A and B are shown apart, each in its own frame.
Chain A
Amino acid sequence: MTSSAVDEPARPARAQKAEWQLRLYVAGATAKSVTALANLRRLCETHLAGRYEIEVVDLLVNPKLAAGDQILAVPTLVRKFPEPIRKIIGDLSNEDRVLVGLDVKAVGK
């Protein structure tokens, strides 16, 4: 988490936007942000493999971006697409709640 807005395309080869566009807002590399990102990656790989894109925004580097998505708490995960926008705050430790929050159908359940 050194750069400001790190694009992490899951499938760099694909030209068009991924079906699931997620953005994770953090404030520096705190324990909570690291946990949140790790939780998010694992969850996406499990349930949305190949269909997602994660963008990490570090507000310490880009404070201006906080107002745009109405960020209050960190970490905050924002589902930009599919619409409507949804927000999940916290370190995403409870996978079931994250899935509900994102409205993702769990794989293998």
Chain B
Amino acid sequence: MKQKTANGATAVPKAPTGIDGLDEITAGGLPRGRPTLLIGGPGCGKTMLAAEFIVQGASRFDEPGVFMMFEETADELAANVRSLGFDLDKLCGQKKVALDHVRVERSEIEETGQYDLGGLFIRLGHAIDSIGAKRVVLDTIEALFSGLSDHAVLRAELRRLFRWLKDRGMTAVITAERGGETLTRYGLEEYVADCVIVLDHRVTEQISTRRLRVVKYRGSPHGTNEYPFLIGDHGFLVLPITSLKLDHGAPLERVPTGVAKLDEMLDGHGFFRGSSVLVSGSPGTGKSSLAARIGAAACERGERVLLFSYEESAGQLVRNMRSIGTDLERWTKQGLLRIHASRPTLQGLEQHLVLMYQAVREFTPAVVVVDPISNLTMHADDAGLKPTLMRLIDFLKQSQVTAIYTSLVSEAGAAFADSEIGVSSLMDSWLMLSNLEANGERTRALQVVKSRGMPHSNLVREFVFSERGIDLIDVYLDSGRPLTGRLRMGAQGVAANPEAAPAGATRSKP
């Protein structure tokens, strides 16, 4: 058995699948020249994964492939993978892919006396030779078990087939149905033992998530966790924890927040590029507005911004931000701002994450706003949130994207540390918004709880919205007591008209 070498490289040669994430989990791809067993129940995406393995091999890695299918016809398969943006017909025309549909119909076959599966070998061999294939998919070869009654012969022949594929140096993917007592229904794991991948489709609290797990990989280290995956418009996407190691870069460049006074609190320059920023607060403290403002400021600098909104629709957000002097529509029209508004319950948490991941890779924004992260947990248990968020935070950090996360704290007086769903330790900067209630008036306040790597203000500032935008007002001390709102205005000699006072204008979310 091949072992890991000292420098961490593996002795087993790999054939990259070209599938985002899967190659990372398997440290480079499937074992080259060996069969891999792909197990899953109906509707788990076995065929799609196998098809992508062939398509990517043919189009990106110059490894032509044979797809032998036992259930679908060639036309059906071509139509199905077209939904992933793959053109099988074209690849077939270029002699990079060969499709062969093997139809097994019990009712049409009479058996008498001895036989072997020589015909199958010949067909496969012919297909391989005709295009010089390096990859082979057998989907789902178990169909033979229902088509032929002599299972003893069949098993012997399958053993011979897998051996034969190995001898020919084919990197093969063999799909199989999940079984009850054994991994697969017909115990194929007995014959294909180099690499086993299980796909799973689970519904928790009415939300379904697809997951992938590498059960076994002979001679190679691999991620053993379950990873969520998505079958999107561009094929398969598996989401690994991108950084088991903390090795992201730390740029020195600063990102202004778009609120001059806030920049001042942050050493005069704003956040670090690529840092993670948490904006927390109880309802109505202005989290969304502040986060959107920071995003708009990036657009003003000509940077791309991706905003995930889980509470407000894009239209609502645009309207609300306009009321405080920020025109988001202008940026969406210029293509600098993209707003993804969706219900958090639309998908599982992992699925959201995969979508975010895809959107970020597609749009390559400089700033990402997630508003709010706390809402994503609505139907998921809290235990699942932290690792998931960790993945997101790590991924964005690695891509050097500045990320703004808002988080709702249910009660104004909730315990400081627990209230941030345990992610505050992952954040580089933390802005805490709160409501101060005194003398029959509520005013908003902002403080920088932490901001790694820079001197920052420890003062609590009053946080004011107006049609001109967001502003912070220095705390006015009156005989050692901070005064806010009308009291401050009164003391400062500003006309204390509550209706005119911008701080009194309420903007609430539904």
Q: Please give the residue numbers on chain A whose beta carbons come within 8 Å of chain B beta carbons, in ascending order.
A: 25, 27, 32, 35-36, 39, 59-60, 63-64, 66-67, 70-76, 85-94, 97-98, 100-101
Contacts and interface: CB of A to CB of B under 8 A. Distances in A.
B203 interface: no
B123 A67 contact: yes
A88 B110 contact: yes
Contact of A63 (B102, B111, B125, B148): B125
Interface in B140-183: 144, 147-148
A74 B126 contact: no
A47 B126 CA distance: 37
Contact of A90 (B103, B114, B125, B147): B114
A90 B104 contact: no
Nearest to B123: A66
Given A86-B110, A88-B112, A98-B112, 8 more contacts: A27-B119, A67-B123, A70-B102, A72-B119, A73-B115, A88-B110, A88-B111, A91-B115
15 contacts: A60-B122, A72-B104, A72-B120, A72-B123, A73-B120, A74-B116, A76-B115, A76-B119, A88-B109, A89-B115, A90-B113, A91-B114, A93-B112, A94-B113, A97-B111
Contacts of A66: 119, 122-123, 126
A65 B91 CA distance: 23
Contacts of B148: 73, 89
B122 A89 contact: no
A39 B110 CA distance: 16
A92 B112 contact: yes
B109 A87 contact: yes
Contacts of B362: none
Interface string B93-128: 000000010111000111111111111111101100
Interface residues of B, number: 25
Contacts of A98: 110, 112
A106 B109 CA distance: 20
A48 B403 CA distance: 82
Contact of A97 (B108, B112, B121, B122): B112
Contacts of A100: 110
Nearest to A28: B118
A100 B111 CA distance: 11
A108 to B, nearest CB: 20
Contact of A32 (B108, B115, B126, B144): B115
Interface in B75-105: 100, 102-104
Interface in B275-319: none
Nearest to B148: A73
B110 A89 contact: yes
Contacts of B117: 72-74
A59 B110 contact: no
Contacts of A75: 115
Contact of B103 (A70, A74, A93, A101): A70
B249 to A, nearest CB: 54
A29 to B, nearest CB: 12
Interface in B48-80: none
Contacts of A101: 110, 112
Contacts of A94: 112-113
B119 A92 contact: no
Interface string B471-497: 000000000000000000000000000
A67 to B, nearest CB: 6
User: Which of A74, A92, A98 has the most chain B CB within a 10 Å cutoff?
Assistant: A74
Kindly list the 8 A-B residue pairs having the minimum CB-CB distance in the complex, ordered from nearest: A101-B110, A93-B113, A63-B126, A90-B113, A91-B113, A27-B118, A71-B119, A74-B118
